[in-house]
Structure 1
Amino acid sequence: MPKPLTSPPTTYRGIHATALDDTALIVSPVGGDTELRIALEDLKLGRYLAARDLLRRTGPNWASRTSRSQLLAAGAGEPGVFKTWSDEEPGNPDAAMMWARALTRAALAAHRTQRSPQVVARAAGLARQACDRARALVPACPVPWVDLLQLTQLPFAPHHFDPYARTRTLPWDALRDPAMHHRGPWPLLTEINRRHAGNREGHHRMREYFQRRSSQPAAAMNYACWIVARGTHNPELLVLPLYALMDVYRQRHGDGRGGALQFWQTAQVHHYASRAYEDWFARVPPVEYPWLALSDLSHLAHALVACGETQHAAHVFYAMGPYATPQPWQDINTSLGRSSDWRHEFLRIRASTLR
């Protein structure tokens, strides 16, 4: 039997810390959301009933609705299951939302795989139409607006994805804030925030827009730091700079260029990792750990380990339980030229941190 990892102090914010097995690892973005896991398994078999029931139970909990629909769309496998659901239940707002999710992903995939401009344009148009239909069925839902914001990553004028572009104050892409001069699809983010202030995916899509479409290399990092500096309704967004830093790391060191380890040992990394830990993670009741985004926990755990805050990292690893996401560990492993699988490195790092 493998030796259990040593627990942190006996109680951590009022609960006993359960030891993790050295070899326990489940690679999945779903984490401990069992209902979501069951729905995903059904979707992969071409069945949508479990997903339908899950989203119906989720209701107007916009945070869960956004995250669960994102993971359902990403993990379903063949997107045709959502088309079938939409055709069989044309008045179901959840079916319309998931079909819009699927078409949005298809449009981005067409661009990513370098399909012809005509194919990408048609895919984008179909996704836009599906988003408009989903918006009409549930006007209060932020998810269709999140999809529209994601579509602005495509090589078209971003305002084409705003249904109200013609009635907005010009210039469409400028924000009336002297601290944020970068132009972008701000009206779409505003629509998201009106429906769900601090929507996690919405702000990450905005970061991705700046990362992929801005002509200024630091735009995504500036955006993430601006969100943290101005304050946010959602403390989960304090992790945004860690994602932006990971993007910078990939640009500078993804091909194995030198200085990779030193990148994570700067005052900037320490500041944002500590800020995210103290002002977000440390304030979350342990009973809510299963509902935290596993990707956020993974990025936070990595940054804390890398900048030497191993005691804080240990608590984050315990919150993750046996689950992990490939990123950022996979890209870090590759950039450092390690021959072993990223999962082996993850288990080694976790074991070392928890001892």
Structure 2
Amino acid sequence: MAFLSSRRKRARLAPELDDHDLGRLLKSLLATTRTGTIATTDLCVAQMSRLLDQEPGDWDRRTHRIGVLADYLTDSHLPRSWAAREPRNASALLLNAWTQLARARSQGRPDDTADATDICLRAAELAPEDPTPWVALLGVARLQRWEQSQVFGVWNEVLVRDRWNREAYLSMLGYLTPEESGSRMQVLEFVDALRARMPANAPCAATELTAQVFQYQSVLDRGGFEALVARNHWSHAMAADALDRVVQTWAQPGFLRHAKALADLNVLAYALMAADRRREARPVFEALGVTVTAWPWRAGGDPLEEFDQAQRRATAGM
């Protein structure tokens, strides 16, 4: 097993996951913007446009790429500059709106998305078959705490275009939590309804397990005695069943094919280790290699350190 080697590579945060074209673009954007030449914006725009025009109709991949680019470019002028240059380019508008959302979310300033709604709607008008403007608008609605009827209206627009959009399901899951605009009962109903009709390897397959991790981490956040016995969460029927349903299949080569499959495997590895199911976590860590996502590992501290320690515990004694 590669991760048992004494020369094991160091774990790394890789927002692009296994999307090598996206990873190369992120590196190129960093190198290009450092040059400071007059043609920098033109070159960066051409590179982003070329990537986002690849694989038309693969909405799962498009959602992943735009979301990663938006997070990467929160402090950059590029999305706004591109949208200003090409006001009828749906990709340019969408990246601009999504970057506003990512920046406002990271800074806790929902008012910074004041014109994001209009931008999303313009992008949706220019590309009526594309679900990603509606996915971005769902994020804006969640940040601005829209009424549930409005949020579900946006949600339905996504589903009409992309039935199992991962980002949309996770966004709705977050919106329906008690910490935002819903309740524990609404979360349970949402997950139950999804599980009843979702293909086992759909892009949104991790929604149920993510809900369990949310609940587990909320117990940890309370501190005190509850945090000390938080591991008991994974012995409850719903949490244990959520793990049992996926632990034998997700790590199998080719079972999960969507763009964020490695992110979902990070969630599974985290949950298995939290449940002290180390033997079952080993093949998941093997499938992950060195690719780490900040969430859910950051709940315990530095995500790379938390991942590395969990990986070592999973393989101890082998």
Q: Give yes or no for TM over 0.5.
A: yes
The Cα shift of 1:218 comes to 4.2
- Specify the alignment match of 1:352 in structure 2: 313
- Specify the alignment match of 1:16 in structure 2: none
Q: Tell me the distance in 2 between the aligned counterparts of 1:185 and 1:193.
A: 13
Does 1:143 pair with 2:112? no
- Specify the alignment match of 1:72 in structure 2: 69
Q: Which stretches in structure 1 are left out of the alignment for 5+ residues?
A: 7-18, 160-172, 174-183, 335-340
SS of 2:173's equivalent? Answer: helix
- Specify the alignment match of 1:25 in structure 2: 11
Give a deviation string over 1:49-77, Cα, whole Å, max 9, x none. 32221111132211101111111111224
- Specify the alignment match of 2:49 in structure 1: 52
| Match among 130, 149, 165 for residue 119 of structure 2 | 130
SS of 2:125's equivalent? Answer: helix
CA contact (8 A) 1:274 1:304 kept: no
Q: Tell me the distance in 1 between the aligned counterparts of 2:196 and 2:275.
A: 21
Over 3 Å counting, the alpha-carbon distance change for 1:59 and 1:20 in structure 2 is farther
CA contact (8 A) 2:278 2:313 kept: no
- Specify the alignment match of 1:223 in structure 2: 190
Does 1:317 pair with 2:285? yes
Task: Tell me which amino acid in the other structure corresponds to 1:86.
Answer: A
SS of 2:142's equivalent? Answer: coil
Task: Tell me which amino acid in the other structure corresponds to 1:240.
Answer: T
- Specify the alignment match of 1:263 in structure 2: 233
Task: Tell me which amino acid in the other structure corresponds to 1:281.
Answer: W
Q: How does 1:172-321 map to 2 (within 5 A)?
A: 173=149, 185-211=151-177, 212-232=179-199, 235-257=202-224, 258-278=228-248, 281=250, 285=254, 291-321=259-289
What is the RMSD of the two structures over their aligned residues, measured on CA atoms?
2.9
CA contact (8 A) 1:73 1:79 kept: no
Q: Tell me the distance in 1 between the aligned counterparts of 2:3 and 2:174.
A: 37
CA contact (8 A) 1:38 1:50 kept: no
Q: What is the TM-score with the length of structure 2 in the denominator? A: 0.82
SS of 2:205's equivalent? Answer: helix
Q: How many residues were matched structurally? A: 301
Q: Tell me the distance in 2 between the aligned counterparts of 1:79 and 1:233.
A: 38
Over 3 Å counting, the alpha-carbon distance change for 1:264 and 1:23 in structure 2 is farther
Give a deviation string over 1:64-94, Cα, whole Å, max 9, x none. 0111111111122424211111122333222
CA contact (8 A) 1:198 1:234 kept: no
The Cα shift of 1:244 comes to 1.5
- Specify the alignment match of 2:88 in structure 1: 91
CA contact (8 A) 2:2 2:8 kept: yes
Q: Tell me the distance in 1 between the aligned counterparts of 2:222 and 2:7.
A: 33
- Specify the alignment match of 2:37 in structure 1: none
Q: Tell me the distance in 1 between the aligned counterparts of 2:200 and 2:54.
A: 25
The Cα shift of 1:324 comes to 0.5
- Structure richer in helix, relative to its length: 2
Q: Which stretches in structure 2 are left out of the alignment for 5+ residues?
A: 34-40
Q: What is the TM-score with the length of structure 1 in the denominator? A: 0.74
The Cα shift of 1:265 comes to 3.6
Q: Tell me the distance in 1 between the aligned counterparts of 2:81 and 2:307.
A: 39
Q: Tell me the distance in 1 between the aligned counterparts of 2:153 and 2:201.
A: 19
CA contact (8 A) 1:89 1:95 kept: yes
